[in-house]
């Protein structure tokens, strides 16, 4: 499913136009992104939790030459599925 499919599904489920559904989907994505950028978590009970994890700087190896390369520290978005979502997928 891509974003347009999601917009169509939201429009059908909520009985609203695709334009309004697209605005709603964009608003949700934007709110999640802004919260993660500010260092917060987004907890959707029954669905899951979006969070940010810190990755430490490490030294890797170039697979072609074998020479070491520095991999800088970074922040990575994470998603942990909630129990209801896990149960729905496994039923």
Q: Looking at residue 87, what is its pLDDT?
A: 95
Cα torsion through 27, 29, 32, 35, rounded to 10: -60
Tell me whether residue 10 is in a domain: yes
Q: Identify the domain containing residue 30 by its residue range.
A: 1-38
Distance CA 36, CA 45 (A): 17
Tell me whether residue 2 is in a domain: yes
pLDDT per residue as tens digits for the range 35-54? 999 999 999 999 999 999 99
Q: Looking at residue 72, what is its pLDDT?
A: 96
Tell me whether residue 24 is in a domain: yes
Distance CA 14, CA 23 (A): 13
* Residue carrying structure tokens 């334009």: 19
Tell me whether residue 80 is in a domain: no
**Domain count within the chain:** 1
Tell me whether residue 33 is in a domain: yes
Q: Looking at residue 83, what is its pLDDT?
A: 94
Tell me whether residue 45 is in a domain: no
């Amino acid at each position: 499913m891509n974003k347009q499919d999601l917009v169509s599904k939201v429009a059908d489920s909520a009985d609203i136009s695709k334009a309004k559904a697209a605005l709603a989907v964009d608003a949700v994505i934007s709110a999640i992104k802004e919260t993660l950028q500010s260092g917060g978590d987004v907890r959707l009970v029954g669905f899951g939790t979006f969070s940010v994890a810190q990755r430490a700087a490490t030294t890797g190896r170039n697979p072609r030459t074998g020479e070491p390369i520095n991999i800088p520290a970074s922040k990575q978005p994470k998603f942990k599925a909630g129990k209801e979502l896990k149960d729905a997928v496994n039923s």
